[in-house]
Amino acid sequence: MGFEKFGHKSFTSQTKVNAFVAALESNELKGTKCISCGNTYFPPRADCCGCLGSDMVWINIEGPGNLLSYTRVNYAPTGFEKDVPYTLALADFNGTKVFGRLSSAIAKEETMVVMSLKAAVVNLPDGQITYEFIKA
């Protein structure tokens, strides 16, 4: 089982970071960190674009994090039409920038930059899995 299980629509079945989905299934959100230069990545990468090394380790994305930016999506790409409207967010978790959806349980009026968030695993229909940000 690989990456085909991730998200609302999966566009690939195998990547160098298939363990990302296994971590989600264990209720953990993970990124990667380069041992050589210390760069952290989310989404996880198998190779470092900083030093071009491939000595990477998995790191936990743990909260609370802070909302840095967000946007409300009203028009969706093919395959996501039933999801709109939704909010995409960029959050900082201990120096690692993480991109994802903001939970629909967070009202539009409550959403503000620097609000405290944590990541939560979401099981989708048909056995798919993803994550979203919820209030910390």
- Expressed as residue numbers, the domain containing 33 is 3-135
- Domains in the chain, number: 1
Mean pLDDT for the stretch of residues 81-109: 95
> Of 131, 114, 132, 133, nearest to 6 (Cα)?
131
Q: Say if residues 61 and 93 touch (Cβ distance below 8 Å).
A: yes
Asked if pLDDT for residue 134 goes beyond 60, the answer is: yes
Give the helix/strand (H/E) hosting 20: helix 19-25
Mean pLDDT for the stretch of residues 46-67: 94
Give percent of the chain with pLDDT exceeding 90: 75
Position 7 confidence tier, pLDDT thresholds 50, 70, 90: low
- Both tokens of residue 3? 């990456």
In this structure, the chain runs to a length of: 136
Position 79 confidence tier, pLDDT thresholds 50, 70, 90: confident
Asked if pLDDT for residue 60 goes beyond 60, the answer is: yes
Per residue in 116-126, pLDDT (tens digit) is 999 999 998 88
